[in-house]
Structure 1
Amino acid sequence: MHFGRILPVATVALVLSGCAKPKLEPETPAAAPIAVSLPPAVDTLPCTKGKARPGRTPTAADVATPRSLGPLPRPSDEYLDEDYRGEMIRRQMEANDAYLERRPLPEAALPGAVRCAIRAENALEPLHKKRVYEAEAVKKALTAAGLPDSTVEKPGSRDRTPHDGLIIAAWTGQACIIGYLSPEHGTRIEYGSTIADGGCLPARD
């Protein structure tokens, strides 16, 4: 018998069997994605119900305007070109205040926002006439008008309001009611969306 010829063949067979592709388990099918459906926003404050007094039109808060983000040609001497420097400063200030911008409200939010803004105005105007500017008195008046749990506090450095008196904010469930009560400037109430960073008012100092 020629064992010398059999051994190399057996060795090759063992090597090949060691390199054979391992048997794979059947792949588990990927789980189907779960669809999450959020309920539509709804008004929750009492002031959103009922009818507003006819003839009253509350003020809508300003919304963001399109920014000037196109290229700004650099002049030969940018330090002496007043128009160029003024535009650069304007764009920088616009970018710095971007977190305060509001967006247009959806149509469904408008009726409740209008009712609450009018009721807040009706609650604050008598206080201004009586020269009452205490936070607790303002909260009590707003609660009676259907805006419970309103924020009433001193203005912060980021608030776009007079810096005397008090600022007011409430969330209807779909819109912000914001404004101020000021000894010098009276009262002003607006309705609008949250600002870009997510609240009705900027973060406190």
Structure 2
Amino acid sequence: MLRLQKTARAKGFTLVELLVTVVIISIVIGIISPAFAHLYQRYKLLEQSRNAYSAINAARLHAIQSGHHVILCPTTDQVDCLPDWNLGLIIFDDFNNNKRHDRNEKVIFLLPGAEPWVKITYPRRYISFAGPGSTANFGSMVVCAPAMETDGISVIVISRPGRPRFGSDSNHNGLPEGGNGKDVNCGQTT
């Protein structure tokens, strides 16, 4: 009589099982990756907003502590203030109040420029703080990502006493309000 012997079965996955697993993982990644990309952009936008807020606070605090005029402005050459707030920012003592960084004036802080997909607007070329921390350059700085629509807008309101605060959406329509109480859209300055 013939006896059938059991053959040892190889352990592991078949090619078909591996391909099905790869296809399922690819589909799941394809579904969730846009959500993660949106979360990442939202995080980076909030980071840009916090950096701008911190720079405003740092300039104001230095003006209060030193008693000097202090300027916060966008620049490419660390001398002239330019109107494009997406550039790198400089904070410096402005002893002669000429709104330019001269050789004898101390650089307090330099910040890198904004992400290329972020748009930062402010109605003036600089923010100047006097010795007591006040400013005549009050207004609303808008930090936004045009591709993100209403979810991608952050507003920093700078009051006449120089205190910054984040704008809020008090009427719950998805858009934050600027210092004048009106809704702010991406790229708009108030």
**Under a length normalisation based on structure 1, what TM-score does the superposition of the two structures give?**
0.30
**Under a length normalisation based on structure 2, what TM-score does the superposition of the two structures give?**
0.32
Between 1 and 2, higher relative CO (CA 8 Å, sep ≥ 6) is seen in: 1
Structure of larger gyration radius:
1
